[in-house]
């Protein structure tokens, strides 16, 4: 610049001409533009190196409130953006360059509750101690941890991995059962999204304060039952050392069923309960707070028959036979059945009634009730606890599988239980008479 042909001070002036900013070539990428979790840092990158000069402006807003975003320049027109959402739901991330939205803006990342290993709760005796020869169990509650995956790693005393049995009780509750083979220190790792939960790894000290494997629970009441009818079994703890016995019964809907425990002799118990619903029941038998072998026992409960014929044989063993049959096979079957039962000394038991002829001395109505109860007219007929067991061929098959012995043991248990009830009734009547 000149004035009257003289240069103006501070001239010449140099003007730098640069290209106009182009927000269309700004690139944004990163998970923070797509998703995130409450309380967790979300990140994404912005590249303006090809866009020319301009101002980068980033704003983040949740469903209700704005979220502070830190824009960090990493060099050469590249930036890292960091924000920490505190609300659940869709967020808006607006990225402008030179007051113009860049491609893809405004982004809408979905923010969820996320996962937190610190909110997973594991509990149960199986995380604290154990007894050799039994199964240990514990439970895991993930209801407050959001979405994620549980991980289990169990290691025995000798470093051998253990295979746990994992049962999903509900979407957020898991039951874990693992075998305890011998004494020593067991290590249990529980992770949530590959992160250890509180107190993990757990150190479980297994030792033998007593012998729970020598506690024996037997009887049909541990296998099957009928709605409204007494289910019985017995528990023999005489070889298990000292320790309290604990019995509980619950149905598949987790409703507790009342249980009666009678100590027949020291550390030998008769147990009874009456199922009320035709769904599976579970019998827990614990000795010194530890499940015995097989516990919990799963019991199949059937509905009560619409027509329940009572022959008066509850708690008793009865055999109905024909004295007038002309069939040689039936006569042979009677002799063979008698021999089988005598080998088991059934004829010497208090709950056994002498063989009952079904033809001589019995009226037709009673005979028809027996046939209807059994569902067949084939003799000889063995009834145990007022339930038809079968004819000779059926009894032989049951004997070969061991089921006959279980039914006979159950009947003895039922007979003892009924005798106790009858004695209590007589004592009650005597007291009432004395009072009157």
- pLDDT (tens place) for every residue of the chain, 436 residues total: 898 888 899 889 988 776 678 899 999 999 999 998 887 889 999 999 998 888 999 999 999 999 999 999 998 999 999 999 989 899 999 999 988 999 999 999 999 876 678 889 999 999 998 878 889 999 999 988 877 889 999 999 999 999 999 999 988 999 999 999 888 999 999 998 888 999 999 999 887 666 667 888 887 788 778 888 888 888 888 877 667 889 999 998 889 999 999 888 888 888 889 999 989 999 999 887 788 888 889 888 878 766 667 788 888 899 999 988 888 999 999 999 999 999 999 989 888 998 999 887 888 888 888 888 887 888 999 998 888 888 898 888 888 877 788 788 878 877 777 666 556 556 567 666 777 6
CA angle 265, 266, 267 (to 5 degrees): 110
The pLDDT score that the predictor gives to residue 159 is 92
CA dihedral of 423, 428, 430, 433, whole degrees rounded to 10: -160
Phi and psi at residue 372, to the nearest 5°: -65, -40
The pLDDT score that the predictor gives to residue 101 is 94
Beta carbons within 8 Å of 421's beta carbon, 6+ residues apart: none
Q: Are 212 and 136 in contact (CB under 8 A)?
A: no
Report d(CA 284, CA 246) in Å as an integer.
8
Report d(CA 133, CA 215) in Å as an integer.
12
The pLDDT score that the predictor gives to residue 138 is 95
The pLDDT score that the predictor gives to residue 425 is 59
Q: Which contiguous run of DSSP H or E holds residue 285?
A: strand 281-287
Phi-psi map region of 385: left, alpha, beta (phi>0 left; psi -120 to 50 alpha): left
The pLDDT score that the predictor gives to residue 139 is 95
CA angle 225, 272, 263 (to 5 degrees): 150
Report d(CA 190, CA 118) in Å as an integer.
12
Beta carbons within 8 Å of 328's beta carbon, 6+ residues apart: none
CB atoms within 10 A of CB 220: 21
The pLDDT score that the predictor gives to residue 262 is 87
CA proximity to 127, closest of 142, 139, 145: 139
Residue with tokens 């703890």: 237
Alpha carbon distance, N-terminus to C-terminus of the chain? 137
Q: Are 285 and 293 in contact (CB under 8 A)?
A: no
Beta carbons within 8 Å of 166's beta carbon, 6+ residues apart: 152, 174, 175, 176
**Which stretches of 124-238 are assigned E, i.e. beta strand?**
129-130, 134-141, 150-155, 161-162, 165-170, 173-180, 184-192, 195-196, 202-206, 216-218, 224-226, 231-236
């Amino acid at each position: 610049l000149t004035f009257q042909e003289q240069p103006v001070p501070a001239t010449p002036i140099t003007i730098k001409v640069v290209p106009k900013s182009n927000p269309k070539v700004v690139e944004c990428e990163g998970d923070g533009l797509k998703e995130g979790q409450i309380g967790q840092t979300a990140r994404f990158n912005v590249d303006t190196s090809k866009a020319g000069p301009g101002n980068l402006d980033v704003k983040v807003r949740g469903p209700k409130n704005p979220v502070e975003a830190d824009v960090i320049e990493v060099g050469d027109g590249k930036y890292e953006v960091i924000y920490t959402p505190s609300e659940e739901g869709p967020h808006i991330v607006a990225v402008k360059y030179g007051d113009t939205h860049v491609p893809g803006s405004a982004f809408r990342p979905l923010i969820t509750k996320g996962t937190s290993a610190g909110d997973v709760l594991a509990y149960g005796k199986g995380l604290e101690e154990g007894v050799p020869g039994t199964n240990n169990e514990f439970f895991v509650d993930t209801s407050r941890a959001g979405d994620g995956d549980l991980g289990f790693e169990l290691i025995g005393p000798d470093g051998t991995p253990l295979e746990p049995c994992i049962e999903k009780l509900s979407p957020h509750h898991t039951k874990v059962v693992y075998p305890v083979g011998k004494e020593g220190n067991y290590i249990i790792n529980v992770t949530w999204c590959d992160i250890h939960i509180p107190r993990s790894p757990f150190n479980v000290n297994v030792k033998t304060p007593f012998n729970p494997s020598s506690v024996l629970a037997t009887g049909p009441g541990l296998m099957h039952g009928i709605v409204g009818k007494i289910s019985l079994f017995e528990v023999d703890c005489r070889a298990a050392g000292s320790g309290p016995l604990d019995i509980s019964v619950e149905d598949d809907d987790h409703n507790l069923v009342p249980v009666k425990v009678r100590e027949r002799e020291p550390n030998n118990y008769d147990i009874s309960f009456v199922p009320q619903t035709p769904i599976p029941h579970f019998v827990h038998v614990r000795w010194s707070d530890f499940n015995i072998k097989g516990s919990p026992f799963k019991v199949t409960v059937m509905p009560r028959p619409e027509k329940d014929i009572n022959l008066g044989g509850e708690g008793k063993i009865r055999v109905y036979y024909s004295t007038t049959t002309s069939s040689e096979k039936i006569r042979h079957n009677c002799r063979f059945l008698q021999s089988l039962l005598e080998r088991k000394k059934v004829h010497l038991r208090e709950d056994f009634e002498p063989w009952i002829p079904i033809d001589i001395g019995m009226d037709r109505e009673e005979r028809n009730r027996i046939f209807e109860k059994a569902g067949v007219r084939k003799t000889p007929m063995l009834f145990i606890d007022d339930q038809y067991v079968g004819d000779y061929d059926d009894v032989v098959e049951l004997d070969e599988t061991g089921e006959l012995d279980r039914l006979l043991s159950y009947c003895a248990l039922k007979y003892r239980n009924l005798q106790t009830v009858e004695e209590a009734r007589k004592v009650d009547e005597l007291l009432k008479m004395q009072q009157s």
